[in-house]
């Protein structure tokens, strides 16, 4: 790996056997990375990076100003989100199998005595995962009929920099576990976004036309996701 200095901006450069050059800015600090074909010289890559300085700075400012949740301790009366709503955690110690129960104003977290923060987090994360597993198949089925595409498989995982991804060849989509905390309409928007990649791989005008057709309000939903607090583990889309 090489590093380029552009004023006060450091750019990590990774060269490998790829066809095109890729630029990315990563949360939470705005770290900049370029993946470039091995055939390109560092001088050529530097010229490319300089041409994208405005874009880089815009995204660094965006991450710097983004509202973030404080780290969670998974203790009683702490705020947590589900389906876009704020709930207070109520920790209840039991000597049996841990579980989560959703109440009107609380998320009851049943845990074993002396359970650690990580153990409590794992229990709640698995509950989030199961809720998404209940919701996502219905959304996929709905949009398969509308879009005339087929999803072979979906998965849920933590992703540091994306709300979702799509492997168009395998017809497989992955969705970020954090979406369980967002509103159902935001979850549906991301599902549609990834399924549109089965029709168009790239974020080009054709892709945007599909999004305009299927989810006319997609731009405002994208902004909504940008405005809502993100987890202490940072995300972007």
Q: Does the pLDDT value for residue 228 go beyond 80?
A: no
Q: Are residues 191 and 92 in the same domain?
A: yes
Q: Are residues 135 and 213 in the same domain?
A: yes
Q: ∠ at Cα 72 (70, 76), nearest 5°?
A: 125
Angle between helices 205-214 and 218-227 (to 10 degrees): 90
Q: Are residues 170 and 141 in the same domain?
A: yes
234, part of any domain: no
59 is in which domain, residue-wise?
A: 2-65
Q: Whose CA is closest to 67, among 237, 190, 182, 225?
A: 225
What is the per-residue DSSP string for 116-157? -HHHHHHHHHHHHHHHHHHHHHHHHHHHHHHHT----EEEEE
Cross-strand partners of 25: 32
Cα-atom radius of gyration of the chain, to the nearest Å? 21
Q: Report the sign of the C-alpha dihedral through residues 83, 87, 89, 90, in that order.
A: negative
pLDDT for the residue 26: 78
Domain boundary among 65, 92, 117: 65
Q: What is the pTM of this model?
A: 0.73
Residue 167 is part of a domain; what is its CATH number? 3.30.2010.10
pLDDT tens-digit map of 42-99? 999 999 999 999 999 988 887 676 655 667 899 999 999 999 999 999 999 999 999 9
174, part of any domain: yes
Number of domains in the chain: 2
Q: Are residues 126 and 206 in the same domain?
A: yes
Q: Are residues 162 and 139 in the same domain?
A: yes
């Amino acid at each position: 790996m090489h590093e380029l200095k552009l004023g006060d901006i450091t750019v990590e450069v990774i060269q490998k056997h790829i066809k095109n050059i890729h630029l990315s800015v990563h949360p939470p600090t705005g770290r900049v990375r370029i993946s470039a074909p091995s055939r390109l010289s560092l001088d050529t890559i530097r010229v490319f990076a300089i041409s994208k300085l405005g874009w880089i700075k815009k995204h660094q400012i965006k991450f710097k100003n983004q509202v973030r949740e404080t780290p969670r301790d998974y203790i009683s009366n702490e705020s947590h989100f589900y389906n876009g709503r704020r709930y207070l955690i109520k920790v209840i110690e039991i000597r049996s199998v841990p579980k989560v129960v959703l109440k009107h104003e609380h998320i009851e977290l049943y845990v074993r005595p002396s359970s650690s923060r990580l153990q409590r987090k794992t229990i709640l994360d698995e509950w989030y995962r199961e809720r998404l597993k209940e919701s996502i198949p219905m959304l996929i089925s709905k949009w398969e009929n509308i879009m005339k595409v087929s999803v072979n498989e979906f998965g849920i995982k933590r992703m540091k920099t994306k709300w979702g991804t799509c492997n168009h060849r395998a017809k497989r989509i992955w969705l970020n576990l954090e979406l369980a905390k967002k509103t159902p309409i935001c979850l549906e928007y991301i599902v549609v976004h990834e399924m549109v990649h089965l029709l168009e791989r790239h974020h080009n005008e054709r892709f945007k036309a599909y999004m305009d057709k299927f989810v006319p309000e997609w731009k405002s939903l994208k902004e909504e996701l940008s405005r809502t607090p993100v987890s202490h583990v940072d995300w972007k889309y």
